[in-house]
Structure 1
Amino acid sequence: MSKIIKKRLSDLGYNFIATDQDGGEYRYRNQQFKSEGSFRQLTAEEIRILERNDNYSSNWADVWVTDKFLPEQIQHSKFYGMVRIGDMENVYLDFRDLRLPCGIYHATVISCDFGHTVAVHHVRYISHFIVGNDVILANISEMETSSTAKFGNGILKHGDVEERRIRLELCNENGGRAVLPFDGMQAGDVFLWSRYRDDAELQAQFQYITEQPFSPEHGFYSEIGDRSVIKNTHTIKDVKIGTDAYIKGVNKLKNLTINSSEESFTQIGEGCELVNGIIGYGCRIFYGVKAVRFILSSNSQLKYGARLINSFLGDNSTISCCEVLNSLIFPAHEQHHNNSFLCAALVKGQSNMAAGATVGSNHNSRAADGEIVAGRGFWPGLCVSLKHNSRFASYTLIVKGDFLHELDIKFPFCLVSNEVDTNRLVILPGYWFLYNMYALMRNTSKFQARDKRKFKNQYIEYDVLAPDTVNEMFDALTEIERAVGMAFSQKGMSRQEMIDLGRALLQSDESLTEHPILLDNVEFSKRKVLLAKPRESYQVYQRMIRYYGTLELIKALEESDFESVSTQLQSIVLERVAFDNVGGQLIPADKLNHLLDELRAQRIDSWADVHSHYHEWSRSYPSDRFAHAMVSLADIKQRQLHTWDSLFIRELLMEALATRTWICAEIERARSKDYQNPFKQMIYGSYEEMEEVVGRLVDNDFINKEKQALQEFESVVNAVINKL
């Protein structure tokens, strides 16, 4: 039964919070309302004009205005409680052909503050809002604020019970990795908090530094920033909206912080319903989106009926038409097909969900969905169905099919497929390098171009060759060696003996087709898992590691002379460091562990301090990457850094130039296959018509840029060689 309470009309607009607290009922309101104007009460003549224009107030003495008040521009409106109205002008505000005169028309206003030159038209109910300067509010059914408003943050107010706290239940469906959302939360924050669940000290400190900046007091008003426009909207409750936002045709906005600025303005469009969330700067949300308990990071998009629930979506991402539940997604994620589904997953960015891909909600146990962890570049193909729990190395591409068992894929840049006729799982390591260089190398420039952050104080790694993927390639080399050695092993061999045998066979010219090369601990099933093209993948992994390391060496030699670089090499610790992908930022494991120790010891007591570490690590990342690259190069070449002479470095440079030439040729070859395939040509009347429709290969912008980059790289290599 609905509980309707009757109170005296004269109390409407008052007693939002208890008046006996310090500062009275308007303590926090006065802190929030930063008007430069000097307010006064109405004159008798102004009240007469207001009433003549069909306006009403239960207490005109509590309506405050400035000396630039135009009572003629207040019409057909009602005022309850204390209302402050900023400077008014005899002007109209024009926004995208919506032209409305300054003033308040056909509105019911309860205890609100208005900045200068606002246009408020047909707002049927607005209660406890602070409205900025030059704001347009038009045709809105209901705008209200509760005294316990939290604006999407996972905090509690005095008197709240724990059950009312907003949590994001990420990475699985049972809530075991839930975190408390807060304005300014980054993907790295969520990642760290959602891990280490057995560390009570660390978990307690995460909650403490989250709650610390927020007041548990009641009485904060909703806010609408300067130059924002809201029109044709139904319900807005407990919101904090930044400047320059544009909101139109929305069904419901409740318990939200919507960040927006003049440089990175946020837009929310028709039919959306957003509840319990934080929205970053420069976001676009349109056409029937439903989002509940969520964080949408800056410059991301939700469109066309997308559903985002109990999830965190990283910067520069797009989700359209589909459903994402209980997931933590790092920056640069793409998912825009109506029938794709993602649930209970940690996806580490630069990912793409194809149509029909269903990751999760299979309930292959007696409990809720477990977890899927996928490295960056994750790409489940058309109609892929995956089971929990599974784990995937970076840049894993999965071929169309149902994968009925849990998977642990340790090979980066690989292709995973079902061999239906033999009922085998087939793993092809290094697939992207061997067969689709065009798509792979285009990723780096594509994601860099899509990074629209105005303030790039955190280094997000987009390069396909980076410390995380290189470390994975080293691990994959060992897995390939062990698999080959196991296939040719003799009874009683130890694991290390099999690895040594496999390495010798892979480095020889001996055929490996005598025995099928099988993998273990890849799929939780009894069927066989075949390792395809072991020698080719082994060699391409080694080649790309050498290329990665030499590229960093070339950068150093460009900036300095050989003697200085040699001195720098001597100072590098001869140990390949592990890196963690923390929200898209690659961080050396020892630095991350130090941060966690500082948190446990309570020497770091704010998220701002944590973020300052992110920024410092971003500044030091180039040197960390250089050191990692040099150790990787020494490891793969089996030659210690102190022995590198000019002749050895010259060989490295020439090999890097050959590799860059090969990459450029492979990029063009991969794309040219679409022009040579007769089945692709058959729908066109002629080859010329195909070129007219899809564009000419010689005009391909990416290929031409790569050719130009190859010429520039050759010049750089020659210049560096001349310095040796």
Structure 2
Amino acid sequence: MSKIEKKKLTELGYNFIPEAYLQNGDEYIYRNRQFRSTHAFRQLTDAEIKRLLQNDNFASNWQDIWVTDRFLPEQIQNSKFYGMVRIGDMDEVYLDFRDLRLPCGIYNSTVLSCDFGDCVAVHNVRYMSHFVVGNEVMLANISEMETSSSAKFGNGMLKKGDVEERRIRLELCNENGGRSVLPFDGMQAGDVFLWSRYRDDHALQGQFQQMAEAHFCVEHGYYSEIGDRSVIKNTHTIKDVKIGSDAYIKGVNKLKNLTINSSAESFTQIGEGCELVNGIIGYGCRIFYGVKAVRFILSSNSQLKYGARLINSFLGDNSTISCCEVLNSLIFPAHEQHHNNSFLCAAVVKGQSNMAAGATVGSNHNSRAADGEIVAGRGFWPGLCVSLKHNSRFASYTLIVKGDFLHELDIKFPFCLVSNEVDTNRLAILPGYWFLYNMYALMRNTSKFQSRDKRKFKNQYIEYDVLAPDTINEMFDALHEIEGAVGKAFAPEGTASEAWPLMGRQLLLSKEPLPAQPVLLDNVEFSKRKVVLVKPRESYLVYRRMIRYYASLELIQFLDTSASLDAFWAAIRGTAGGREQFENIGGQLVPRVKLDALLDQVRAGEVSAWQDVHERYHVWSRDYLQDRFVHALHAMADIEGLALTDWHAAFLRELLVDAVETKRWICAEIESARAKDYQNKFKQMVYESYAEMEEVVGKLADNDFINKEKVALKNFETTIERLLNKL
């Protein structure tokens, strides 16, 4: 049954903080810190009280209503006040926002112990308890606004007297809660990723939790906040919220236990029918039309729309989820998921990903317990009506063809196509598919994601280029897999397995055609059926070509900016070490050795705050281009089998010539891939004429991306010619 208590009416608006948690008997200690007005407040005069009463206002204690010398009692009408209320400067003006025009003042509202900034317009707020409101805020037609003394605003803290069961945790990556983290305002995707890993390292996990709890104040008494120039209208329930400046909230069903970051430069909007509980929302977010989100973090400049459901999940910057359901997932920046029957559960998706309609990356009901996980690299793309089984792992830019994949998968080949051949009961893997058949879509990714990056404060270097240390290292791993599979397929009977990779490499690099028999892969699918490697030689050679191209681009840029040729050679030959492994932490690529050093410092307590971790992210971002350059040098040395100390001018000239040829090939493939859409008669058949098709989809000759690539090619050719002359 409901527990309803009776208390004295004279206490309404007071005793916000339970007596056991008062500090020095002051219930306003944190409220006074939050209300940052510089005005001198005074009590009402008898004449002002008389005028307020004439305007049908009521106060339980008029002596606790505090105003400035710019108080206009005629702008307070038909309202009730309980507890201490402070009202900032008033003026004979109205506020106008998108055709909503409201006179400044407080009208037809009930206010308990609140502070108001200058020139606020509060209309028809039926119940408003313990809020600090900024300047020029508009509040209209709100049923209930309240704050509890133990408000946490979406953070995973405990206040004094709370039990552990009340703590908010994000149960990410796994439905069983075994990778849960404590959310806090300012948490980044990299923080969540690091904390959700290394679960057997109890010292590290303990430090992570201590670092999070250091963010929080355990004392009671913080008020909800509404920042300057924010507008809230036609909303039902708002409880325990901290809202930044310039936010726009309309038609919301429920906002509870939230931090909503917003600013004049990057304002957040929340629209009709939304219900958001226990979450943190970043700057510049858009949330509209029936969204349901519970226990979540939505990073900056991301969107939830059209009935999206986000539960126990972290969504990275510059991402969009529409209509779909996402549960228990950690998603890095630039994720796209737009279709009503897309379902994503218990996954780590490392950004720049796209979920097609009908894709089901979840449902642990096909295993013995709800404890499966999926890990997918950058550019993950499950196609129409794809269903996957946990546990599975996918290399970067894996494209999965429509179908039901009934077994666990471990796809080690980046840029590949995964097909379920139902008629032959085989799994087919085509490595390097994007390079071979859809260069247009692949290469457009970099500029597309860069243009969508709306962060005002780009404190982390998020890698959007498809060719980067993570994908290059995956290509090296894939080369080894292809060599081993080809060697095994064609080696004479009795050949030792250690000899397969070398034999495969020799066959793949030879000019002779491979024997006409299937090349099979091991340890790709947890089943007894065959897994076929499609086009092994074409895949192998295109991987090698793209590795060379990636490294050449870095060399060309460095050579073009070097003070002299001698300085260039000194830098190249003086680079020590080897090709490093990189980790993708929240979209930022970091050399593994640097990450390990940070984790050691966290374990030792030398790094004791998440702010210090974030500062390390910034340092890594500043160093990243140099780290990528060094990685590219060693990638070239590895693919060419030539140590850096043995490089010479003739070798460099060969690389430059090869780079421009690859650039020409990429440019031609980009145009060719898009041209197929114009040459396909089945695409043409819905139009009365070719001219009508061009009118609807645009002319190929006017394609902005293709034309930019052609200009870039000409500039690249000019650069290469200049550098060749320099050599």
TM-score category by the smaller chain?
A: over 0.9
Using the TM superposition, give the Cα deviation of residue 172 of structure 1 relative to its aligned residue in structure 2, in angstroms: 1.0
User: Which amino acid in 1 is paired with 2:654?
Assistant: E
Tell me the distance in 2 between the aligned counterparts of 1:99 and 1:657: 61
User: 2:539 maps to which residue?
Assistant: 537
Given that residues 344 and 360 in structure 1 are in contact (C-alpha distance below 8 angstroms), is that contact kept between their aligned partners in structure 2? Answer: yes
Residue 23 of structure 1: CA displacement? 5.9
Query: d(CA) in 2 for partners of 1:686 and 1:372?
Result: 46
Helix, strand or coil at the partner of 1:349: coil
**Which residue does the alignment assign to 2:687?**
684
Per-residue deviation, 1:239: 0.2
Match among 131, 155, 158 for residue 156 of structure 1 = 158
Question: Is the 1:360–1:369 contact (alpha carbons within 8 Å) kept by the matching residues of 2?
Answer: no
What is the Cα deviation at residue 510 of structure 1?
A: 2.6
Q: Which runs of 5+ in 2 are unaligned?
A: none
Aligned counterparts of 2:574 and 2:350: Cα–Cα separation in 1:
32
- Which residue of structure 1 aligns with residue 704 of structure 2? 701
- Counterpart-to-counterpart distance in 2, 1:2 and 1:606: 42
Q: What residue number does 1:232 align with?
A: 234
Q: Offset at 1:396? A: 0.1
Residue 473 of structure 1 deviates from its aligned partner by 0.1
Distance 1:135 1:403 in 2: 53
Question: How far off its partner does 1:83 sit?
Answer: 0.3
Mapping for residues 126-525 of structure 1, pairs under 5 Å:
126-525=128-527
Contact 1:172/1:327 (<8 A) preserved: yes
Read off the aligned partner of 2:2 and give its amino acid letter.
S
Distance 2:132 2:141 in 1: 18
Deviation of 1:115 (Å): 0.4
Shift of 1:489: 2.0
Deviations 1:138-167 (A, max 9, x none): 000000000000000000000000010000
Q: For structure 1, which segment, 684-693 or 102-111, has the greater mean C-alpha deviation from structure 2 after superposition?
A: 684-693
Alignment partner for residue 58 of structure 2, among 56, 59, 80? 56
Is residue 608 from structure 1 mapped to residue 611 from structure 2 by the alignment?
A: yes
Deviations 1:695-722 (A, max 9, x none): 1100011100100110011111111112
Instruction: Write out per-residue CA displacement over residues 664-704 of structure 1, whole angstroms, 9 at most, x where no aligned residue.
Output: 00000000001111111111111111111111100011100
Aligned mate of 2:77, from 72, 75, 78: 75
Equivalent residue for 1:721, pick from 716, 719, 724: 724
Per-residue CA deviations over 1:436-490 (Å, capped at 9, x if unaligned) read: 0000000000000000000111000000000000000000000000000010123
CA distance in 1, matches of 2:520, 2:56: 85
Superposed, 1:102-141 pairs within 5 Å as: 102-141=104-143
**Contact 2:111–2:127 (8 Å) recurs in 1:** yes
Which of these residues, 542, 555, 558, is aligned with residue 557 of structure 2?
555
Aligned to 2:3: 3
Mark the CA change 1:25 to 1:706 in structure 2 (over 3 Å): closer, same or farther: same
- Paired with 1:709 and 1:517, the residues of 2 have a C-alpha distance of 39
Secondary structure of the corresponding residue to residue 698 of structure 1: helix
Distance 1:688 1:271 in 2: 44
Which residue number in structure 2 is paired with residue 38 of structure 1?
40
CA distance in 2, matches of 1:297, 1:722: 48
User: How big is the alpha-carbon RMSD for the aligned residues of Structure 1 and Structure 2?
Assistant: 0.8
Q: Find the aligned partners of 1:493 and 1:29 in 2 and give their Cα distance.
A: 78
Report runs of 4+ in structure 1 exceeding 6 Å deviation.
Answer: none
Letter in 2 for 1:160: D
TM-score (norm 1): 0.99
Corresponding letter in the other structure for 1:648:
F
624-633 or 569-578, which deviates more: 569-578
After superposition, residues 544-623 of structure 1 pair within 5 angstroms as 544-560=546-562, 561-623=564-626
Contact kept, 8 Å, 2:439 with 2:666, in 1: the verdict is yes
- State the SS of the aligned residue for 1:510: coil
Q: Which amino acid aligns with 1:254?
A: K
Aligned counterparts of 1:213 and 1:674: Cα–Cα separation in 2: 54
Give me the identity figure in percent: 77
- Which among 657, 660, 664 is matched to residue 661 of structure 1? 664
Counterpart residue type for residue 169 of structure 1? E
Over residues 165-196 of structure 1, what are the superposed CA-to-partner deviations in whole Å (9 max), with x where a residue is unaligned?
00000001000000000000000000000000
- Which residue type is aligned with residue 241 of structure 1? I
Give the AA of the match of 2:16. Answer: F
Aligned letter for 1:423? N
- Residues 406-450 of structure 1, C-alpha deviation per residue, up to 9 Å, x if partnerless? 000000000000112111000000000000000000000000000
Letter of the 1:559 partner, please give it: T
Q: What code does the residue aligned with 1:113 have?
A: D
Give the drift of 1:495. 2.9
- Counting matched residue pairs gives 724
Q: 1:645 aligns with which of 638, 645, 648?
A: 648
The separation in 2 between residues aligned to 1:494 and 1:375, in whole angstroms, is: 33
362-371 vs 611-620, greater mean Cα deviation:
362-371
CA offsets, 1:77-123, max 9 Å, x none? 00000000000001000001100000000000000000000000000
Query: Shift in Å at residue 362 of structure 1?
Result: 4.0
Greater mean alpha carbon deviation, residues 3-12 or residues 675-684 = 675-684
Alpha-carbon contact 2:364-2:372 (below 8 Å) kept: no
**1:430–1:540 contact (8 Å) kept in structure 2:** yes
Contact 2:518/2:532 (CA < 8 Å) preserved in 1? yes
**What is the aligned partner in structure 1 of residue 96 from structure 2?**
94
Whether the 8 Å contact between 1:398 and 1:415 is mirrored in structure 2 is yes
- Cα distance between partner residues in 2 of 1:325 and 1:34: 39
1: CA distance between counterparts of 2:559 and 2:433?
32
SS at match of 2:159: coil
Q: Equivalents in 2 of 1:558, 1:381: separation in Å?
A: 41
User: Is the deviation greater in 638-647 or in 52-61?
Assistant: 638-647
Shift of 1:128: 0.2
Amino acid at match of 1:316: N
Q: For residue 310 of structure 2, give the secondary structure of its aligned residue in structure 1.
A: strand
Shift of 1:570: 1.9
The separation in 1 between residues aligned to 2:469 and 2:514, in whole angstroms, is 30
Please report the TM-score for the alignment, with normalisation by the length of structure 2. 0.99
Aligned amino acid, residue 449 of structure 2: F
Provide, for residues 611-667 of structure 1, a one-character-per-residue CA deviation record: whole Å limited to 9, x for no partner: 000000000001000000000001101111112112111110010000000000000
Q: Contact 1:361/1:369 (CA < 8 Å) preserved in 2? A: no
Q: Which moved more, 1:572-581 or 1:299-308?
A: 572-581
Provide the secondary structure at the position in 1 that maps to 2:263.
coil
Q: What is the CA–CA distance in structure 1 between the aligned matches of 2:233 and 2:591, rounded to whole Å?
A: 48
Compared CA separation, residues 241 and 485, structure 1 to 2 (3 A): same
- Residues 334-365 of structure 1 show CA distances to partners (whole Å, capped at 9, x for unaligned) of 00001110000000000000000000114222
Q: Which runs of 5+ in 1 are unaligned?
A: none
State the one-letter code of the partner of 2:700: L
Check the 8 A contact 2:184/2:215 in 1, yes or no.
Answer: no
Give distance in 2, aligned partners of 1:658 and 1:269: 51
- Tell me the secondary structure at the aligned position of residue 661 of structure 2: helix
Q: Does 1:630 align with 2:637?
A: no
Are the counterparts in 2 of residues 18 and 24 from structure 1 also a CA contact under 8 Å? no
SS of the residue 1:150 aligns to? coil
Q: Quick one: distance in 1 between partners of 2:161 and 2:74?
A: 44
Cα deviation for residue 369 of structure 1 reads 4.2
Correspondence for 1:25: 27
SS at match of 1:401: coil
The 2-side partners of 1:22 and 1:292 are apart by 36
In 1, distance between residues paired with 2:675 and 2:153? Answer: 52
Letter in 1 for 2:499: E
